Structure 1
Amino acid sequence: MTDSPMLGVADPSAPARLAVGLISAGRVGTALAQALESVGHVVGAVLARSDESRERAAQRLPDSEVFDDPADVAARSELLILAVPDDALPAVIAELAASGAVRPGTIVAHVAGAHGAAILAPLTERGALGLAIHPAMTFVGGPEDTERLQSACFAVTATDEVGDTVGASLVYEIGGQPVRIAEADRTLYHAALAHGANHLVALISDAVTVLRSVIDRADVDGTGAPLRSAPEMLAPLVTAALTNVLEQGPSALTGPVARGDADAVAAHLGALRDWTRTAPAADATIVDSYLAQARRAAVYAAPSEALDRVLEEAS
């Protein structure tokens, strides 16, 4: 076996080791497959078509046989992981169903956040056990992804109690925390994650852009703070804010909106509008983003008629 990072130690009382197949060797699928290998399952077959996927499989799943036909992977699997992009999932499921390669009793688990287990009906109708197991984690494509799974929660959706138990067992084995999500709520669940994580990236990127412009204006001769100074300045602040809100909830809100400081918010909006008119390549939609977030923050703050007027008139 490979020298994968150990996420757990195989337990003699754990379920029998499974022959695992992976479709395909992207960031999420590779991390999950490597985590399963680390607790004793055998990832024997991997679908990898692109050069990048083949290289990733060779580096992180070196003992796995690589195929370019999903049916070849399915035929060798007791646990089949479908780790294709969300929009490609229906076509892959239909292709596997038509091939007849998925045997009755095979556990088929997809990792798409917005879909539940119902999308696997073409396979479950042929006797497969269908699971939706989505790790609430961001992936960068390296070995650290596998280690992060140990601290991740997984949204588990199945069609019956047996599926719930199997899905939870697989998650527990690799050190994760299973959280049951109802079939009807998968899209709403995924929207919450995207809003909290993906939009956070956009928010911080906007803040870095504005702050870097401010630093550059002061560094008129180009000999001052390095390029990384804007992220470095923001990092302690946003890290503390994130920790605080996760621990304390909305009561962690600070700053001018929390204080109901209408003058400060109005001044911010004015400064941002001026910046968008004068800074090279400035994006005027940053003003819209600030205003939208200020309105959301105001929902969690103490009532302030003056602030409400500023936010309303700023449209």
Structure 2
Amino acid sequence: MGRGAVSDRLRVGIIGAGRVGPVIGAALAGAGHAIVGITGGSDDDRTAAILPGVPTRDPQDVVRESQLVVIAVPHDQLEGLVAGLAELGAWQPGQLVLHTDPWFGTDVLAPAMSRGAIPLAIHPAIAFTGTSIDLRTLVGAYAAVTAPTPVLPIAQALAVELGCEPVVVAEAHRAAYAEGIATATDFSRSIIRQATDLLRSAGVTEPGRYLAALMHTTVDHALVEAGTDSVRPPAE
């Protein structure tokens, strides 16, 4: 199988109805896969808006109905969820199991693997809003993929179907990768909050709009200085 597309259309179930899961489901639906169910969340109206007509199911039912299970849950819930579903006998031989957590590779999916499931880890490197805006942001973004060598092309193909450019990150390097992502996002948010507070105290009524062009150009210049070409798309 090449990197361009997954050869078969899959029945896809989503576990996790936060900002990430529904968007991943919508992107896969756009690539021709059938979304068969999603677990409930704190904002079912938002989920219904991005995945209209997709039924809400219990996690074990999502797994049993799906050829590809996408797990997009908070970091501290992933390990227990995978193990708990294994204890319930939900995982199936040959089933694809994909999680989106930047901190983990495929080792966290060991309980599913022990039942014959195929483990994949794909982390799209964007800040999700949980809305259809993310579908446009995914196009041209990068995604870290980790998977056993025989099935790595499947992970790469799924990343492409999300709209992303896949970048292979070894299992042993996932923690360093995640720390890099966290450093960039957390530091950026903190600095922008501090800067907007200072500008507001100086009488700037719309500090966020004021900073937008400055922050974009500063990031572009910093990437060039770091030896990395800017990948920010041109303004429409």
Structure 2 counterpart of 1:310: none
- Post-superposition Cα deviations, 1:37-92, rounded to whole Å, max 9, x if no partner, equal 00100001111143x1x21232111231211x210100000000011111000111
Structure 2 counterpart of 1:40: 32
- More contact order relative to length (CA 8 Å, sep ≥ 6): 2
Equivalences for residues 122-161 of structure 1 within 5 A = 122-158=111-147, 160-161=148-149
Bigger mean CA deviation after superposition, 107-116 or 204-213: 204-213
Q: Which has the larger radius of gyration?
A: 1
Equivalences for residues 1-315 of structure 1 within 5 A = 14-50=6-42, 52=43, 54-67=44-57, 69-158=58-147, 160-215=148-203, 227-228=205-206, 230-249=207-226
Q: Which amino acid aligns with 1:55?
A: D
Q: 1:232 to 1:47 in 2, by over 3 A?
A: closer
Q: Secondary structure at the match of 1:45?
A: strand
Q: Distance in 2 between matches of 1:20 and 1:128?
A: 14
Q: Distance in 2 between matches of 1:81 and 1:127?
A: 16
Q: Distance in 2 between matches of 1:231 and 1:44?
A: 40
Q: Which amino acid aligns with 1:42?
A: A
Q: Distance in 2 between matches of 1:49 and 1:208?
A: 32
Structure 1 counterpart of 2:234: none
Q: Secondary structure at the match of 2:139?
A: helix
Q: Secondary structure at the match of 1:16?
A: coil
Q: Secondary structure at the match of 2:85?
A: helix
The number of residue pairs the alignment matches comes to: 225
Q: Distance in 2 between matches of 1:162 and 1:153?
A: 22
Q: Which amino acid aligns with 1:213?
A: S
Q: Is the 8 A contact 1:44 1:63 kept in 2?
A: no
Q: Is the 8 A contact 2:145 2:167 kept in 1?
A: yes
Q: Which amino acid aligns with 1:60?
A: I
What are the ranges of 5 or more consecutive residues in structure 1 without an aligned counterpart? 1-10, 216-224, 252-315
Q: Which amino acid aligns with 1:63?
A: G
Q: Secondary structure at the match of 1:151?
A: coil
Q: Distance in 2 between matches of 1:233 and 1:148?
A: 22
Q: Is the 8 A contact 2:27 2:161 kept in 1?
A: no
Q: 1:120 to 1:14 in 2, by over 3 A?
A: closer
- Post-superposition Cα deviations, 1:121-158, rounded to whole Å, max 9, x if no partner, equal 00101100001111111011211012211121111111
Identity rate, percent: 36
Q: Distance in 1 between matches of 2:139 and 2:30?
A: 11
Q: Is the 8 A contact 2:18 2:41 kept in 1?
A: no
Q: Distance in 1 between matches of 2:114 and 2:40?
A: 27
Q: 1:246 to 1:187 in 2, by over 3 A?
A: same
What are the ranges of 5 or more consecutive residues in structure 2 without an aligned counterpart? 229-236
Structure 1 position 194, deviation (Å): 1.1
What is the RMSD of the two structures over their aligned residues, measured on CA atoms?
1.8
TM-score by length of 2: 0.90
Structure 1 position 184, deviation (Å): 1.2
Structure 1 position 174, deviation (Å): 2.7
Structure 2 counterpart of 1:271: none
Structure 1 position 201, deviation (Å): 0.9
Q: Secondary structure at the match of 1:178?
A: strand
Q: Is the 8 A contact 2:15 2:72 kept in 1?
A: yes
Q: Is the 8 A contact 1:117 1:132 kept in 2?
A: yes
TM-score by length of 1: 0.68
Q: Distance in 2 between matches of 1:240 and 1:204?
A: 14
